[in-house]
Amino acid sequence: MKKSPMIVLAGGNGYIGGTTAFALQEAGFVPVIIDNFSTSKKGAFNDFEVLEADLTDFSQTQRALKKIGPVAGLIHFAAKALVPESFEIPGLYYKNNLLSTANLAELSVELGIPIFLHSSSCAVYGVPKSVPISENSELHASSPYGDTKIMAEILLDRYRQMGKFKVLHLRYFNPAGAWPKYDWGEAHDPETHLIPNLILSAIKNQPVSLFGDQYSTPDGSCIRDFIHVVDLAEAHVKTLQMLLAGKAMPPCLNIGRGEGSSVLQVIQAAEKVLGKKIQVKKEPGRAGDPPELVADVTLMNKVLDWTPRKSLSNMIEDDWTWRSSTVK
Ligand SMILES: NC(=O)c1ccc[n+]([C@@H]2O[C@H](COP(=O)([O-])OP(=O)(O)OC[C@H]3O[C@@H](n4cnc5c(N)ncnc54)[C@H](O)[C@@H]3O)[C@@H](O)[C@H]2O)c1
């Protein structure tokens, strides 16, 4: 009998990696996770093999990968990923996000791992000159976090150009939602993302922060392109399947819905879904927050022959379903 292909998920114990692990398993892959639990909880999973290693430590990472043995590919989710925090402790962001990438790249060569999928971000575009943002847009980040994503892309592109392994950067826009079926959702501490904070506010009857209402957008609040995390996980599965099948692929793909929603529109959508008024507390805009980030998804639609299925309301509903059973 043919063995199911094994895929390493570096940083797979976190929000997006964990969701992708379930999606890969449903698609017939065997996910194996390496994580240091720096931004996620140890013991969160019973479903998969989870190895503990700090990816910034070459020997620890080498030991973990050797223990796993031959794999069909690797997905690198591991990163410190909070924009405001990256201004407070930039050194940690540069070290963690770049050393982990450099170690995984070197070890992919050493161990012959043929495919390297990289969790990149719309943060690579900084404040874009035009919206929707295509993959050809200029890269100039507006935060240390965004810098690390550009630098990791450059590093990995060099390995791709040298023919060491296949590389594809998935530039996620704004993942949100949960997978209640697997009791899996977004649990960052601190939580800086809008939808989880909105749902937490609704559960606790507390106001949600609106960071900036004077942006150059129709209602003054920031506009983002939200994508359901289960759709995002599916995009990983599709990309991996195509790379494994030897299809020619571009070096990077935007992953979003190509639809912008302002923070105030998301709050209104949540009030509608939850049937409840949500109090808003106005706060100053945050450093590194561009006014509008919406993906041009033409290339994603074409290359993956795929479009996300879930709506903004689905993201809110699923986060609510998961979080209201989790938060006491
Ligand atoms: N969540 C978003 O809104 C978003 C948007 C765009 C891109 N991304 C990118 O997607 C990836 C996953 O994001 P997430 O929201 O799931 O984050 P997360 O914090 O939930 O998960 C990241 C995981 O990586 C692990 N990790 C970090 N540094 C590590 C190290 N040195 N060694 C081993 N493990 C380490 C953490 O413990 C955690 O389990 C990140 O690379 C992030 O930059 C996220």
Q: How far is CA 8 from the centre of its chain?
A: 16
CB of 77 shorter than 6 A to ligand 1: yes
Which segments of the chain belong to CATH 3.40.50.720? 6-176+226-255
Q: Decide whether any atom of ligand 1 lies within 6 Å of the 78 Cβ.
A: yes
Look up residue 327 and give its two tokens.
């938060």
Closest by CA position to 170, among listed 55, 297, 82, 26: 297
pLDDT at residue 326 is higher than 60: yes
Q: Which fold has domain 180-224+257-326?
A: UDP-galactose 4-epimerase; domain 1 (3.90.25)
**How many angstroms is it from 277 CA to the middle of ligand 1?**
32
Nearest CA to ligand 1 atom 12: 77
- Segment 260-284 shows an average pLDDT of 96
Is the CB–ligand 1 distance for residue 187 below 6 Å? no
Residue 328: is its pLDDT beyond 60?
no
Token pair of 249, please? Answer: 């692929």
Q: Is ligand 1 within 6 A of the CB of residue 79?
A: yes
Concatenated DSSP letters for 295-317? B--HHHHHHHT------HHHHHH
Q: Answer positive or negative: Cα dihedral of 307, 308, 311, 314.
A: positive
User: Which CA distances in Å does 16 have to 71, 143, 221?
Assistant: 20, 21, 26
Give the pLDDT band of residue 287 (cuts 50, 70, 90): confident
To test the ligand 1 pocket, which listed residue (55, 119, 150) has its Cβ within 8 A of the most ligand atoms?
Answer: 119
The catalytically annotated residue of 15, 93, 125, 145 is: 145
> Is 145 one of the catalytic residues?
yes
Distance CA 113, CA 193 (A): 33
| Ligand 1 mean position, distance from CA 39 (Å) | 7
Residue 77 CA to ligand 1 centre (angstroms): 5
Residues of the chain with CATH 3.90.25.10: 180-224+257-326
Pairing of strands 166-172, 115-121: parallel
Cα distances (Å, whole numbers) of residue 216 to 146, 219, 222: 22, 8, 8
Alpha carbon separation from 134 to 35, 97, 129, 138, 243 (Å, rounded)? 32, 24, 11, 9, 22
Question: What confidence tens digit (pLDDT) does each residue in 54-72 have?
Answer: 999 999 999 999 999 999 9
Q: Please name the CATH architecture into which domain 6-176+226-255 falls.
A: 3-Layer(aba) Sandwich (3.40)
The model's confidence at residue 10, banded by pLDDT at 50, 70 and 90, is: very high
